[in-house]
């Protein structure tokens, strides 16, 4: 009798162990099942979300199907349930286990934003406004208000004082914190270059040098000729000649600029119109690259006073008005010839 009872207990235990083993095997197989992700997917896990909440979000997002395996997986492997709030990037082929390990790691998705050299502050703010997952604190603020928010020391206008580059950020990052990073980097760059600048330059402050760099940035995209462009403007400043550079006119026109400037625009006074004012404008007119700042700090030693586009992407530099006018005629003839073809 005892033998039969013992055998029955053993049989039941074997069945139970078998069922547990089978269940464990199915749960483990489920863990290695890929998510329903065909293309890269951004998934946000709100703070305070528990096991049930996570499962609901995954089902609602159609990343997994509703079943009992998910909750059992978190019971069988409790280490996988220590997930952290944030925004994550799920990729094609990622398994349920890999997804949970990612959520446990806290390695949030990185996004990138590119601030282009030569863009104005207004253009930078438009880029920020259209960037995903950014928290906006500076919307509709002008250059002076942004400078105040960034606690700028050298200037009351943020124009020019932000370093152009590609910056990485996570979801929820503020536009203020991104611009703080760009400003801190520009501040260090300007300070380093200012300390090593050439002697006897007509700058009173680092802002003057940065303003010159912004004009150089807008005048040429060719790195190798930036020091020559700088020499033209430095030579003009030294003899009291007006800079007469179109980008400053355009900047002063603001939203009134629609792609071209007229003779009237050149004659209309603004704080930035260097056809009307003497010396440098009151602040930079764009965000200059580091190479333009270097050019402003180390201009070529030339006698150039003029330059004009050569129709091939670069410029022709001259020392007197007659030579400049000839270069202008050559450029216009070249453009006319190209338009007639």
CB 270 within 8 A of CB 261: no
Question: How big is the CA angle at 311 (ends 307 and 314), to the nearest 5 degrees?
Answer: 55
Return the DSSP state at 34: B
* Residues 229-252: tens digit of each pLDDT: 999 999 999 999 999 999 999 999
Query: Residue 79's pLDDT is what?
Result: 86
Residues facing residue 174 across a β-bridge: 135
Distance between CA atoms of 127 and 285, rounded to whole angstroms? 17
CB 95 within 8 A of CB 77: no
pLDDT at position 8 over 70: no
If you average pLDDT over residues 116-132, what whole number do you get?
A: 95
Beta-carbon contacts of residue 340 (< 8 Å; ≥ 6 apart): none
Query: Residue 225's pLDDT is what?
Result: 96
Distance between CA atoms of 123 and 115, rounded to whole angstroms? 9
Question: How big is the CA angle at 160 (ends 303 and 271), to the nearest 5 degrees?
Answer: 75
Rounded to the nearest 5°, which phi and psi values hold at 330? Answer: -60, -45
Say which residue, 80 or 214, is predicted with more confidence: 214
Say which residue, 244 or 65, is predicted with more confidence: 244
Long-range contacts of 139-148 (CB under 8 A, 24+ apart): 139/175, 143/283, 146/121, 146/179
**Closest to 283 measured CA to CA, from 182, 193, 154, 189:** 154
Q: Where are the beta strands (DSSP E) in the chain?
A: 41-45, 86-90, 111-114, 134-135, 166-169, 173-174, 306-309, 315-318
If you average pLDDT over residues 139-147, what whole number do you get?
A: 92
* Residues 288-302: tens digit of each pLDDT: 999 999 999 999 999
Beta-carbon contacts of residue 172 (< 8 Å; ≥ 6 apart): 87, 133, 135
* Residues 168-188: tens digit of each pLDDT: 999 999 999 999 999 999 999
If you average pLDDT over residues 311-326, what whole number do you get?
A: 92
Query: Residue 331's pLDDT is what?
Result: 87
Confidence (pTM): 0.86
* Residues 89-103: tens digit of each pLDDT: 999 999 999 999 999
CB 104 within 8 A of CB 82: yes
If you average pLDDT over residues 315-340, what whole number do you get?
A: 87
Query: Residue 21's pLDDT is what?
Result: 53
Identify the band that residue 69 occupies on the pLDDT scale cut at 50, 70 and 90. confident
Give the chain's largest Cα–Cα span.
124
Identify the band that residue 324 occupies on the pLDDT scale cut at 50, 70 and 90. very high
Query: Residue 18's pLDDT is what?
Result: 55
Residues facing residue 111 across a β-bridge: 169
Residues facing residue 42 across a β-bridge: 89
* Residue 323 CA to its chain's centroid (Å): 42
DSSP states of 291-313: HHHHHHHS-------EEEE-SSS
Question: How big is the CA angle at 68 (ends 66 and 71), to the nearest 5 degrees?
Answer: 100
* Residues 253-284: tens digit of each pLDDT: 999 998 899 999 999 999 999 999 999 999 99
Rounded to the nearest 5°, which phi and psi values hold at 210? Answer: -70, -35
pLDDT at position 1 over 60: no
Distance between CA atoms of 171 and 210, rounded to whole angstroms? 32
Identify the band that residue 61 occupies on the pLDDT scale cut at 50, 70 and 90. very high
pLDDT at position 339 over 90: no
Identify the band that residue 74 occupies on the pLDDT scale cut at 50, 70 and 90. confident
DSSP states of 56-107: HHHHHTTSS---SHHHHHHHHSGGGG----EEEEE-TT-BHHHHHHHHHHT-
| Domains annotated on the chain, with CATH | 31-62+73-109 (3.30.1490.480), 111-189 (no CATH), 199-340 (no CATH)
């Amino acid at each position: 009798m005892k033998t039969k009872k013992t055998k029955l207990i053993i049989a039941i235990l074997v069945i139970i162990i078998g069922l547990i083993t089978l269940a464990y095997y199915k749960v483990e197989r489920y863990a290695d099942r890929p998510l329903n992700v065909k293309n890269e997917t951004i998934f946000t896990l709100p703070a305070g979300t528990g096991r049930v909440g996570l499962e609901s979000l995954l089902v609602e997002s159609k990343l997994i199907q509703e079943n009992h395996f998910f909750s059992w997986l978190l019971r069988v492997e409790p280490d996988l349930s220590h997930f952290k709030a944030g925004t994550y990037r799920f990729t094609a082929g990622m398994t349920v286990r890999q997804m949970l390990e990612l959520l446990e790691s806290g390695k949030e998705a990185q996004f990138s934003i590119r601030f282009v050299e030569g863009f104005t502050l207004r253009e930078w703010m438009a880029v920020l406004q259209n960037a995903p997952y950014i928290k906006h604190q500076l919307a509709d603020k002008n250059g002076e208000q942004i400078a105040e928010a960034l606690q700028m020391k050298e200037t009351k206008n943020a124009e020019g004082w932000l370093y152009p580059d590609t910056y990485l950020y996570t979801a929820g990052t503020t536009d203020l914190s991104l611009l703080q990073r760009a400003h801190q980097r520009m501040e260090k760059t300007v300070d380093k270059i200012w300390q090593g600048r050439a002697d006897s330059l007509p700058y009173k402050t680092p802002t003057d040098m940065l303003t010159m760099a912004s004009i150089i940035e807008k005048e040429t995209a060719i790195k190798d000729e930036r020091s020559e462009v700088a020499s033209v403007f430095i030579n003009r400043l030294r003899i009291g000649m007006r800079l007469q550079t179109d980008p400053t006119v355009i900047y002063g026109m603001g939203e009134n600029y629609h792609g071209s400037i007229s003779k009237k625009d050149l004659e209309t006074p603004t704080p930035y119109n260097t056809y009307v004012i003497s010396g440098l404008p009151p602040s930079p007119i764009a965000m200059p690259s580091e190479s333009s700042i270097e050019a402003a700090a180390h201009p070529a030693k030339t006698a150039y006073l003029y330059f004009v586009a050569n129709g091939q992407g670069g410029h022709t530099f001259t020392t007197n008005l007659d030579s400049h006018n000839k270069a202008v005629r050559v450029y216009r003839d070249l453009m006319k010839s190209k338009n007639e073809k």
